[in-house]
Amino acid sequence: MTVTAARHADLPTSTAEHIALDERWSTHNYHPLPVVVASAEGSSVTDVEGREYLDFLSGYSSLNFGHRHPALVAAAVEQLGRVTLTSRAFHHDQLGLFCRELATLTGTEVVLPMNSGAEAVESAIKVARKWAHRVKGVPNGTAEIVVTGSNFHGRTTTIVSFSTDETARADFGPFTPGFRIVPHGDADALAAAITERTAAVLIEPVQGEAGVIVPPAGYLARVRRLCDDANVLLIADEIQSGLGRTGDLLALDHDGVRADLYTLGKALGGGIVPVSAVVGSRAVLGVLRPGEHGSTFGGNPLACAVGRAVVALLSSGELVQRSRELGTHLHARLGELVGRGVSEVRGRGLWAGVDIAPGGPTGRQASEALVARGVLCKETRDRTLRVAPPLVVGRADLDRGLDAIAAVLAR
């Protein structure tokens, strides 16, 4: 037997073999469903044994445009044949175009490109603190940021410092100071937390990990007014909710509210490469000077080329409109389950949190039952299913997935 043949003979082929390999060699920081994906296209994936599934999770909004969208793959392949990385020690021919096109799409002025969503949030925190010290006049080292409970902004040490999820926090201290936590949706509590040292309010317009929580009517507009009155920045984390997921380009658009800074990620990389960004006003992002912040891979040519293709897909508004229209259908169908195994449905666009009624399956059990019916979904917060098909999902596939959810939950 040749060396090559021996190597291939040692490769796993079954679902069980692949999972055993993962369990043996990877760190157990996730608890995935027992599906081993081998290929994917559009809104469906195929496992190593040839079984096909509908993807109703979309990589937590990373796959808003489905798997391997032809326009995004073409942009990546074309750029792979030219140059993939220069570092920011040099200019390259994709960065300025990407920043201009993303700023134009989002109605902002400048772009700070990064890689992961957590990096974007960390960057926004740093910018807000520097702005507070340099522009607002908050004494150095004393700036505070107000956040809301049940948030999810990432898992870095600083970010878990202001999480209320003990699973995210336990044993990771000591924690970073400088944050005030108030209940989500409580504008009075937020108003009381703002002081002369407050640099920013950081908020998810729709809380994803908490169960797709939409704030009360008028809440976000009041938050904007409170920030204006106190000369405080409003930072909107649109990493999961942005770029069409909620039926508007940005979730804040539903309330007619504008942020000073937005953090974007996930869908910005088209499901191909990690791409994130902080976008906002020049007056705020302009506090950064060379050497004060950066990333070797942030704004690399491959990321920018894919990001430009994502912006092009969104620019016509067609996918956003599709999310709005199909989202109306999705929420109508899920709403029929309330009182029949479901206690509540929340969300906007093609994004829903489905609370399973007491006496029904746990979120994990429901997710596993959906796998058996050919639908990939995932629980959050124990008894909530997070439903998020790609924006390109067909109406028939959407109904097929919703039929499976009804079969698992309805009673």
Tell me the per-residue pLDDT of 286-339, one tens digit each, with 9 for 90 and over.
Answer: 999 999 999 999 999 999 999 999 999 999 999 999 999 999 999 999 999 999
User: Quick one: pLDDT at residue 212?
Assistant: 98
Catalytic-labelled residue, pool 47, 55, 237, 355: 237
* Distance (Å, whole) CA 43 – CA 35: 16
User: Quick one: pLDDT at residue 5?
Assistant: 54
Catalytic-labelled residue, pool 98, 152, 162, 297: 152
Domains and CATH numbers, the chain: 3-61+318-409 (3.90.1150.10), 70-315 (3.40.640.10)
User: Quick one: pLDDT at residue 274?
Assistant: 98
User: Quick one: pLDDT at residue 193?
Assistant: 98
Catalytic-labelled residue, pool 55, 162, 260, 266: 266
Tell me the per-residue pLDDT of 163-202, one tens digit each, with 9 for 90 and over.
Answer: 999 999 999 999 999 999 999 999 999 999 999 999 999 9
Q: Is 70 exceeded by the pLDDT of residue 344?
A: yes
* Beta bridge mates, 380: 384
* Distance (Å, whole) CA 278 – CA 286: 12
Q: How confident is the model at residue 134 (pLDDT cuts 50, 70, 90)?
A: very high
* Distance (Å, whole) CA 326 – CA 319: 10
User: Quick one: pLDDT at residue 1?
Assistant: 46
User: Quick one: pLDDT at residue 164?
Assistant: 96
**What single-letter DSSP state applies at residue 266?**
G
* Distance (Å, whole) CA 331 – CA 99: 35
Q: What average pLDDT does this structure show over 372-385?
A: 96
* Beta bridge mates, 277: 113, 264
297 catalytic residue (yes or no): no
The total number of residues shown for the chain amounts to: 411
Contact 208, 62 (CB under 8 A): no
- Report the predicted TM-score, pTM, of the whole model to 2 decimal places: 0.97
Q: How confident is the model at residue 4 (pLDDT cuts 50, 70, 90)?
A: low
Burial of 313 (0-12, 13-18, 19+ CB in 10 A): buried
* Distance (Å, whole) CA 164 – CA 215: 18
State the DSSP string of 305-374. Answer: HHHHHHHHHHHTSHHHHHHHHHHHHHHHHHHTTBTTTEEEEEESSS-EEEEEPTTS--HHHHHHHHHHTT
Q: Is 80 exceeded by the pLDDT of residue 206?
A: yes
Contact 105, 315 (CB under 8 A): yes
Report the share of the chain in percent with pLDDT over 70.
98
237 catalytic residue (yes or no): yes
Q: Is 60 exceeded by the pLDDT of residue 3?
A: no
266 catalytic residue (yes or no): yes
- Among the residues of 147-218, which ranges form H helices? 157-160, 166-169, 187-193
